Every structure is written in C-alpha cells, then in structure tokens.
Structure 1
Amino acid sequence: MKKITSIDLFAGVGGMRISLQRALNRLHYKDECKLYSEINSYSRQTYDLNFPSTPLIEDIKSVKKDEIDSIIPDHDILLAGFPCQPFSRAGISNRKFLKRSHGFEDKDQGDLFFNILDILKTKRPKAFILENVQNLKTYQNGKILDEMIKKLSKYYYVPEPEVLDAREFGLAQRRKRIFIVGFLKFNGKFNYPEPTFKETVIKDFLDSYPPKKYIISDLLWDSHQKRKIRNKKAGKGFGFRMSYPTDKATVTISARYYKDGSECLLYRGEGKNPRRLTPREVFRLQGFPESFKFAVSDLQAYKQAGNAVPINVVEKVCLNVVEYLSSNKKSLIVHKEAS
C-alpha cells in the first residue's frame, strides 16, 4: 500500500490529522504521522488517547533553526492549525483590553507562523495545509496575510487562500475558517473544494438523552435574561443566543463556551430552562467521529472542541491537496509498503 507521511503542528486534539487520515483512506493511501507538536498538556492527553505513541515536541519554538534538519523528520505534508487568538476578533479585543500585543507582535503565539516557515524552508515537504480564523484575511487590511503568502511563495506555489464555512459542508455550525495551502511543485491551478450543501439541522448532532446537569440553573437563566436586557438597552447587542433543534446551524462555538454556554443555549420547550450542549455534541458539530475519545473534564473538553477544526471541511481540503499531488507522479514520492 502507498503511504504519505505528515507532521501535525499546533495539533490540538488531532482534528487535522483525522481529516487527512480520512482523505487518504478514501484515496487508498496509508497515513503515517511522524511527529506532532502541542503545548497544552490537556490537549496532549486527548491526542495521545486517540493517537498513542506519536513522537512529540511540546513547544515547536524550542526547536532552533539549526536543529530543524536533525530534529524534524522528513515528511510529505505539513499540517498546521496555528494559533488563531492573535488574529481573531475576540482575541484582538481581549489583547487590546489587557494592553497586550496582537498579530505578529504577539511573541507568544502571533509569530509562530515563522516557525512553520523555517520548517518549510528546511525540510521542503511536498505540500502544506494551514488553517486559521477568517479574520486573518482582513486583519490590518490584509497586510499580514499578504506578507505570509509572499514569504511562502518564495518556496511554494501558493494559490489564493480560501474561506470555507462548516455549515456548507454538512455540519450544523456557522464556522468560517481560512485555508492556506502550498505545493513544492506547480502542477496547474489548484482548486479548493466546492461546498457539499448537505442539509443538516442541529438535532442531527444532539444526544438522545442528555444528562440533566447540562440544563442551566434558575439563577444562571435569570442572569442571562437580565444581561441581555441590559446590553440591549446599552446598544451592545451582546447576550445569550437561543438555538432550536430544528435550526440549520448554531453560531460558531468557541473555546469560551465552557463559561456559561451563552453562545448556544438549546431550547427545551415553553417554560423550561434551556440547556448547554454537551462536550460530545460540540465535538459532533465539529465533525469528530463517535469513536473519538476524551477523558478530560467538561471545562477542558469544551475548550478542546471549541479550538478544533471542522473535520468535514478539512477532509475535503486534504482530498484536493492529495489529488493535486497524485496527478503529477514526479511531485509526489510515495513510500511503498507491503499491502
């Protein structure tokens, strides 16, 4: 069986890897992930539960430029859902409030793109797939994205990045993400996947019998309603969002969902307190399979699911990337194994 190798940077709980595995399975390739990096210990716990024995570098920034060639293994495809907080609207707003830098000036997370770039320059994989929030496209009037593409294009063919929405790929969640892909060798125009427009509603992703603990208390429900009234009077427009099981999609579920669930409260009937989504339901809305395992607290599970990639979308991107590589045999050196 033919094999394609990869590394999984800023891996979270492995959403990009699951997506690539699905794509490769459909195309009859075997996948070998040679390395993953993830700095959060709880995310590593979940990743290792699903992908045991994968070599790990906790902090990719710990790898110096002159160490890349010896420490980072050769691979065909680089995956990186690099941290989005320095570029997201909420993240920028929070950083401004705390008088912290954002974008490339955030030296903890904002400059991690350059670590990706250094690895690409040194290891020269056949392709890369990067994912981030849609706000990256307009951040600083698009100057940051333009700079990224300019630097990547010195070594790779980089088609115009595309913003794709999870709800157009069979997931009942509005979640727009920007994808940046690149190829070491040009093989004609690359096309991003077309939306499937598969019809779904929120209830398709819900538990049949969710535990009662996810029903919000009278105190919290009263607080939500009063806050919404105050915010409306103040012209802020912020407050809880009620979702109905028959709705076509929720809003974007973020990593802060664990705080009070206000992004998506589920209607349970007239006169009844709404409930939060369960962690498993949030993972489903991200496209994760039922076989996906997690053994962390609800708080951590909500954070992990909220930070994850929409599997259905990334799988389609991976399919197109691998097919692009495979259409030119000279551009893809696959590794033969006994089938």
Structure 2
Amino acid sequence: MTQAAPLDLLKQARIRFTQREIAAYVGKDIKTVRRWEKGETPCPAMLEPALHGLLQTATTIPVDAPARFRFIDLFAGIGGIRMGFEAHGGACVFTSEWNAFSKKTYVENFGAEREFIGDIVSCPADAVPEHDILLGGFPCQPFSIAGVSKKNALGRPHGFECTTQGTLFFDVARIIAARRPAAFLLENVKNLLSHDKGRTFEVILQTLRDELGYDVHYRVIDGQHFTPQHRERILLVGFREKTAFSWDDLQLPTDGPRLASILHRTDGSEPLLPWDGDRFFDHAKRRVQPKYTLTPKLWAYLQHYADKHRAAGNGFGFGLAYPDSVTRTLSARYHKDGSEILVHQGSRKRPRRLTPRECARLMGFPDTFRIPVSDTQAYRQFGNSVVMPVMREVARIMLPHVDALLGAAPVAPALALVA
C-alpha cells in the first residue's frame, strides 16, 4: 500500500482544520504552513507522526468519553452536518433519513447504534430523544433554482405548496416546539432567501423567531473557502435564549484550495484505500479509470448543446475545470452527464467526470469516508450533501453559546478537543 507523504497528510488535515490550527498543533508559524501547502517549500518528513496523530484524533472519540453535547440529525443524507459537529465532541442520539441508499452510506460510516428512522413526518415529537442541538438540512429542491424551474415546467407546486418536501420545515418546527433544544442549525440553498419574493423565508423566520421564540441568525456561506467548489448555502442558527452569537467569529480562509488538491494523483502518491481498491483509480497504471472519460457521443452532444445556447445568448453549457480552478456547484444530477464539472485532460483527450472519491473530497469528506453504493447513487448523495468543513467551523462558533445555555463550563477551542 502506498504510504501518504507529508504533503498528502497536510492536505487531508486541511479538510478539517484551518492553517492556523495546524500551525499551532505542529508548533510552526502559519506562514510556514501556507508555504508548505502552496509547494513553495517542502513539507518535512519529520511532521508525519504529528499529522497522523492529528488526523487520527480528529476522527476518533473514545467510546467511554463523555459527550460534550447531544444532537439529532434530521434529513441526515450521508452525515455531512453530523461529521462537523462530532468533530467537536458531540454525540448523535437520533437520526432521520428516508432514502434507502443514503441510509446505507450513513450506516456504513457511522453505524446504527442510535435510533434511526425513515420518515420524520410520521414520527411523534415525543418519540424524539431529548437533545441539546437540532441539526437539519431540510430538502432544498422546492426552493432551489433548478427545483423551481423543473416544477414550473411540469406545472407542479413548489416551496411550501410542495406537500411532499416543502412542508418538511414544519416538522422541524414541531420538534423544536416539543423538545426545546438549546440550539439548532438548519441548512438550505441560497435561493431560499428569494423564493416567492422572499415570502417563504419570511414565514420561516416568523415561525422560528415569533412562534418558537428563538434567537435566530442567518448567513450565506460559500464552500469555496474550504474546498475548490463554489457552493453557496444559507445557514440558520438559532438559540433558545438571547446570545452574543456573531457570524463575525467565523474563520474563513481567504485563499481556498484549488481543484488539483482533490484530484487523484498520477505521480505514484495516490493512496491505495482498502475500501476503494482500484474502483476509481488504477494504481498500477497510475490513472483514473477510463470509464470516467466522456464517450465521443456524449462529448459531441455537450459541445453541440453549448453552441446552440451560446448562439441564442443563453449561459447554458458545460463547465471545464482545470487544476487551478474553483469548480461550479456539484449537483445531484451529476450522474447524468457531469456537465457542470468536467476535468480537462488536455486538448487531445476528451474531458472526464470527477470520480465519486473526488466528489467526496470536493465536499470536504476525508478519505476514510466509505462509498458503499453505486457511482450513480454516490453522485446523487454528494451532490445533495454539505461542505463538511463549513459545518465544522459553524459548530465551533456555536458551541460556546450552547455551553452557556446548558450551564456547562466553557470548553477549549476545537483543536484542543482533539489534540
């Protein structure tokens, strides 16, 4: 098995930690870490033990360690929000996810030791365990630009009029009303702000603030601060009582990583993951599996489609991505043709899709995350997920205020938790 080089370990650490946190952990200046990451100076081999330790403790919490807080994971998907909060010592006590394929991936990575239900709509609020934080990435299709366009074309309702998905927010509200957690974090697409001329979002705020009495703060955050993907999502944070919470406490790197940082490496340094084997990458030939390169027919179709819309003055078309790129937003439809993110392979070769492992990295998931489903399902899952390091950073600034509401002694920052 190929051993990860120091720079590879550094890149994996950057999925979970800021440059400042890594610098503090290894006892170096932040400028030194920045030079390592940019390749201006080599990352020394002597750092391997420290980086290995950081990565190991960041993902492993002793079974008998007391949880800092308890949370529930609604509309859990494959656990991206959960991972961000577990990194700070939280324990998940309840999970809801209706999609069987997502549940398979979730259980593969987190186990099924806690209560797991499918449909939250049919779950009585008093059946949900007591918890300190409610997490929920409630379905965004009724509010997303793509979702609204599709439903309009089909003559179907969207937003809160979409009874199968849009009203799921009110199931979140009834659980908050019944259990009164110290805090919540809700995630959705940026378009939620403008949907139905702002009326949809106004109903959400009125419900959370006026009816439930929570101190609510919201902000749109772009995932490209942490991964090479332009992905804007709105986050709503609420507290049971008035707090001094401020989005200004976020530490968002100004010079985020580029696509090259998540691509399979063809120089012999790509790690051979036992759970992946050669599924995505041929380690013997040092190349991405050929099946991810577009067929001549599909490539010709995408070029024709782009030319047609360009001539009509529209902006539709494929998106070529280069090693120094920040990509477009990965969507759940990526399995169809991969058109939003096509990796350039040179002028004499057709572009390719990202592999599911590269999609996982693009969303900030570590290589320890297992992908037990088909490529099609994996693309859907990562396209519907969250940029995990964003969740970890938001959890970091939320938790001091949660501690205060719970009457707990303040806990050291995230890095001290895992060091």
Structure-to-structure mapping, 1:74-93, within 5 angstroms: 74-93=130-149
Deviation string, structure 1 residues 86-143 (Cα, Å, up to 9, x no partner): 0000000000111111000000000000000000000001100000000001112222
Distance 1:159 1:139 in 2: 19
Unpaired stretches in structure 1, ≥5 consecutive residues:
25-29, 335-339
1:271 pairs, out of 337, 348, 373, with 348
Q: Say if 1:96 and 1:332 are closer, same or farther in 2 by CA, change over 3 A.
A: farther
Q: Secondary structure of the equivalent of 2:130?
A: coil
Structure-to-structure mapping, 1:106-125, within 5 angstroms: 106-125=162-181
* TM-score, normalised by the number of residues in structure 2: 0.74
Stretch deviating more after TM superposition (117-126 or 149-158): 149-158
Distance 1:329 1:84 in 2: 31
Aligned to 1:289: 366
Q: Does 1:246 align with 2:324?
A: yes
Shift of 1:45: 0.4
Q: Does 1:11 align with 2:76?
A: yes
Distance 2:67 2:354 in 1: 40
Aligned to 1:206: 263
Q: Is the 8 A contact 1:185 1:331 kept in 2?
A: no
Shift of 1:332: 8.7
Deviation string, structure 1 residues 158-215 (Cα, Å, up to 9, x no partner): 33310000012x2100000000010012222433524222431101001123211111
Higher relative contact order (CA 8 A, sep 6+): 1
Aligned to 2:247: 191
Q: Secondary structure of the equivalent of 1:60?
A: coil
Q: Say if 1:194 and 1:40 are closer, same or farther in 2 by CA, change over 3 A.
A: same
Q: CA RMSD in A?
A: 1.7
Letter in 1 for 2:235: F
Shift of 1:68: 1.3
Unpaired stretches in structure 2, ≥5 consecutive residues:
1-65, 266-286, 412-419
1:44 pairs, out of 103, 112, 135, with 103
* Count of residues paired in the alignment: 322
Distance 2:148 2:247 in 1: 31
2:120 pairs, out of 60, 69, 80, with 60
Q: Is the 8 A contact 2:302 2:317 kept in 1?
A: yes
Radius of gyration: which is bigger? Answer: 2
Identity among equivalent positions (%) equals 40
Aligned to 2:192: 136
* TM-score, normalised by the number of residues in structure 1: 0.91
Distance 2:216 2:97 in 1: 27
Distance 1:320 1:157 in 2: 17
Deviation string, structure 1 residues 41-91 (Cα, Å, up to 9, x no partner): 00000001011123111000112xxx311x110000000000000000000
